[in-house]
Amino acid sequence: MVVPKADGESGRRPALGALDDGRLRWVDPLHGIPLARYFDRRLSEELSRSARFTRPTSIVLVQVGFDRGLVGLAQFNAGHALGIMVASIIRSTCREFDVVCRRDEDELGIILPETGQAGAAAFTTRIAEMISRALSQCGAEVGGKTPTLSFGTATSRRGEQTPFELVLAAEEALLRSRRRCAGVEKAA
């Protein structure tokens, strides 16, 4: 039984279109997931909670797209279809309290509360396998180009990092992953 709170809220998780203030400005209508503003706000909240309860919080950034060769409408349409599929797979894999958001055109961000580095790595491996399987089943190749998938993870152990520092660490890991995918290793 869900007991209503004094302010009239039921205590249930808000519907996708009713995040926080009831306006759709938080949700990407194409992918059906919250936007970067919501990611930033929730990351700040989760890091505060992480510091308070001395538990880890991890983030995973997923970048999906086509490296080279596609231009114009073909890239636009293929990118959107691919983004929708990847967002759907990630949402189906996440726990109820994990946060999946669209950070920009080709990047999704996932906040994994109470998840350490090993858990984030296991999550990344699991979704990479699921996405690869889905791509091979649907023959996701456009204009002879196969989509690329890159991941970046970062973990804050007890809220000791700011949201900016944690996202920066994940972005750096994502960049290293993209370079490996492209065969361009950074000199040490």
Closest listed residue to residue 38, CA positions, set 17, 11, 53, 19: 19
- The rounded mean pLDDT for the chain is 78
Torsion angles phi and psi, residue 144, rounded to 5: 80, 5
* pLDDT mean over 98-127: 93
Q: All domains of the chain, ordered by start, with CATH?
A: 31-179 (3.30.70.270)
Point out which residues pair with 152 in neighbouring strands: 61
Per DSSP, the residues of 79-134 read: HHHHHHHHHHHHHHHS-TT-EEEEEETTEEEEEEET--HHHHHHHHHHHHHHHHHH
Give the pLDDT band of residue 108 (cuts 50, 70, 90).
very high
How high is the pLDDT of residue 157? 78
How high is the pLDDT of residue 120? 96
User: How many distinct helices (H) and strands (E) make up the chain?
Assistant: 4, 6
What's the pTM value of the predicted model, to 2 decimals?
0.77
Residue position matching structure tokens 């759709």: 24
Residue position matching structure tokens 């660490």: 169
Kindly list the distances between the CA atom of residue 20 and the CA atoms of 1, 4, 38, 123, 152, in Å, as whole numbers in the listed order. Answer: 22, 16, 10, 27, 28
**What type of residue is 136?**
S
The alpha carbon of 62 is separated from its chain's Cα centroid by a whole number of angstroms, namely 6
Give the pLDDT band of residue 17 (cuts 50, 70, 90).
very low
Per-residue pLDDT tens over the stretch 70-104: 445 555 566 677 778 888 899 999 999 999 998 98
